[in-house]
Amino acid sequence: MQDYFCFLKKVMKCPVCNYKETKVVDSRVASDGITIRRRRECLKCGFRFSTYEQVELLELMVIKRAGHKESYSREKLENGLKKAFEKRPVSQDSFRILVNKIEKSIQSKKKSEITSQEIGELAMKELKKKDPVAYIRFASVYRAFKDLASFQKEINEVFKNKEKMGKKSKKGKRGD
Write down the domain spans for the chain: 2-53, 61-147
Q: Is the pLDDT of residue 5 over 50?
A: no
Per DSSP, the chain holds a count of helices (H) and strands (E) of 6, 6
Q: What is the pLDDT of residue 23?
A: 92
Q: How confident is the model at residue 78 (pLDDT cuts 50, 70, 90)?
A: very high
Q: What is the pLDDT of residue 4?
A: 39
Q: What is the DSSP letter of 169?
A: H
Q: Is the pLDDT of residue 76 over 60?
A: yes
Range 113-120 average pLDDT: 91
Mean pLDDT for the chain overall: 80
Label residues 98-123 b or e (16+ Cβ within 10 Å = b): bbbbbbebbeeeeeeebebebbbebb
